[in-house]
Structure 1
Amino acid sequence: MRGEFLSASADETREYARRFAAGLQPGDVVCLTGNLGVGKTEFMRGITEAFGCEEQLSSPTFSLMNIYEGLMRGRPVELHHFDLYRLESEKELDSAGFDDYLSGPFLSVVEWGERFSSLERRYTRRVELFIAGESQRKIVIT
């Protein structure tokens, strides 16, 4: 799923995320970007719903990463959810072994990944969220 979409509610944002997630494959690394309060958590919630692991969802802001167990087309899948908001440097990424976590048969979603240009080569998909009105969000998927 690629393109621009307009969401008028958190429910619609989650629905777009579920549709997006249906096209993901093991090994995909998604860069999820947008300002604070734009709906990244709702989009992530939709992804976890698609894989049946929504009850595990919590913000990784203070722990850098959460790992969720779910199902993809009836098979077990591991979803890595990163939040790089609090990291200051590439050195912190390296010391956390971040690159290793992006390798392998996992699905990875990286919030605030645009902050580190060295990661650009790792992303297979990009989702950008923008405020498009008081209760509307524009979602751009590339």
Structure 2
Amino acid sequence: MKAELCDGMSPASGIRMSEKSAYVSSEIFLDWLEPDFMPRKASGRTLLILDGHSSYTTNIETLEFSEQHEIILFCLPRHCTHYMNFWIVPFLKVLRDFIMRRAEEWLKFGKLLGESYVKSATINNVVSAFQATGIFALNPEAIPDYAFL
């Protein structure tokens, strides 16, 4: 987990990663359910619709917590969420499309390099580079002796 993954995220958002797989674990789900879901939960019984991943229903602590707080865990059938999940179908498809477009822009390295080069290749930056390396005006002390070992 790199801290940079959270740069620019929405307020109160975060990332938690499983050390064992790319999927959510029962511990991560419970850690989300208590501090993140509960403060937003309406009073009384609440239906929480989930995909069919086993991590939601295999932890006894999660099941007890859900029962105690009137949370009904409803799992969609496995391998069907891409058809049935109201959240994935309309919203996440649009979100994924936006992310893919931005990733494609970033992957166009030539364009990224070209735009960056134009902004960075200024007379002042070039002169500073020559000065910092001791090339012009000649400065043999610009590069420390240990750099040549």
TM-score by length of 1: 0.30
Task: Say which structure is richer in strand.
Answer: 1
TM-score by length of 2: 0.29
Flag the structure with more relative contact order, 1 or 2, with Cα contacts below 8 A and sequence separation at least 6. Answer: 1
Which has the higher Rg, Structure 1 or Structure 2? 2
Task: Say which structure is richer in helix.
Answer: 2
